[in-house]
Amino acid sequence: MTDITPYKDFVQQIKELFEDDVLDLDDDITNSYPLYSLDDFLSEVYMDENDYNQIVSVLKKKKNIILQGAPGVGKTFVAKRIAYAMMGMKDIDRVQMVQFHQSYSYEDFVMGFRPTTTGFELRKGVFYNFCKKAEIDSDNEYFFIIDEINRGNLSKIFGELFMLIENDKRGKSIQLLYSEEKFSIPENVYIIGMMNTADRSLALLDYALRRRFSFIDMKPGFKTEGFAEYQSSLDCKKFDKLVDCVERLNRVISEDDTLGEGFCIGHSYFCNLDPDTVTENTLNEIVKYELIPLLKEYWFDEPSNVRKWSEELEGAIR
């Protein structure tokens, strides 16, 4: 070992060598996730800027929102990109997504005992771990996304966290069921749920949980500027006729007393096409295997309506 401090010129040369490496390392860290702006959001999601600003405003105040709408309005797609736009980047480490179902439990969500080869072990759930990660990184926003939120037994899944998810209870602690630990939900955690309004088999959310969420209706985006640009880029007359037919069908569905706006056909059925793939065969597959089966479910007791609109949809692409 040699003390090189007296050799000032030599020390400076060594520092200059390492300074370049440090700068490159910082650049790699900064650019590890793609940036994501409001413009990126509006180019991908068929939604007006005012609607986006309204959703963000409600989410920041309430902390918990539920995007509800019919199949195909892009609820899951929108939820993730709202998170990216609010973060300013596609930081997947700060976004967690789960899907509720009838077997989903508190033990999966918060914590519980799980069988092992030697007995039982107390394991932390996905929401517990997510909150702990957000708590350490309190300067940044974290987003927990729950798909099909109304398919689970919410009182059972949330347990004592039922109270803590409220916006004015954030940061306050409560003792967990399976441990003596005091647990709190950080203020930088936002919960976005998705709910399918066209699923007749599911019960409505109970009022206690409903009070803790703000509900935002998601509607088809056929009239947005983004979809108009997308439609224009395809330059396909049969596609245009089919979209016009679906818009007329949606007006009928909205005015139907047994259905309503929550059953309208969403724009997602017609996305991810380009001038090369928007063929008559592709459009026929959308109509025959996606739209008509949906109408049969909607009007299961009104076959005349199904027959009429099936002919209208098929006629639009001939």
Q: What is the pLDDT of residues 13-22, one digit of tens each?
A: 666 665 544 4
pLDDT(150) > 90: no
Reference 71, options 262, 285, 273, 297; nearest CA is 262
- pLDDT on residue 92: 93
The predicted model gives 108-120 an average pLDDT of 88
- pLDDT on residue 23: 41
**Residue showing tokens 């439990």:** 105
Per-residue pLDDT tens for 90-110?
Answer: 999 999 999 999 899 999 999
pLDDT band at 27 (very low <50, low <70, confident <90, very high): very low
pTM of the predicted structure, to 2 decimals: 0.84
Each domain of the chain, given as residue ranges in start order, spans 38-217, 225-316
pLDDT(200) > 80: no
Lowest mean pLDDT among 7-21, 103-117, 171-185, 296-310: 7-21
Those residues whose C-beta lies under 8 Å from the C-beta of residue 159, and which sit 6 or more positions away, are: 106, 109, 110, 177
> Alpha carbon of 220 to those of 60, 101, 186, 268: distances in Å?
24, 26, 34, 8
Distance (Å, rounded) from C-alpha 157 to C-alpha 160? 9
- pLDDT on residue 9: 64
Distance (Å, rounded) from C-alpha 262 to C-alpha 218? 9
Percent of the chain topping pLDDT 70: 88
- pLDDT on residue 172: 92
pLDDT(202) > 70: no
For the chain, the residue count is 318
What letter does residue 44 receive in the DSSP assignment?
H
Reference 199, options 155, 139, 263, 253; nearest CA is 263
- pLDDT on residue 29: 43
Better-scored residue on pLDDT, 13 or 134:
134
pLDDT(126) > 90: yes
- Backbone φ and ψ for 47, nearest 5 degrees, come out as -145, 145
CATH placement of domain 38-217: 3.40.50.300
The predicted model gives 30-38 an average pLDDT of 82
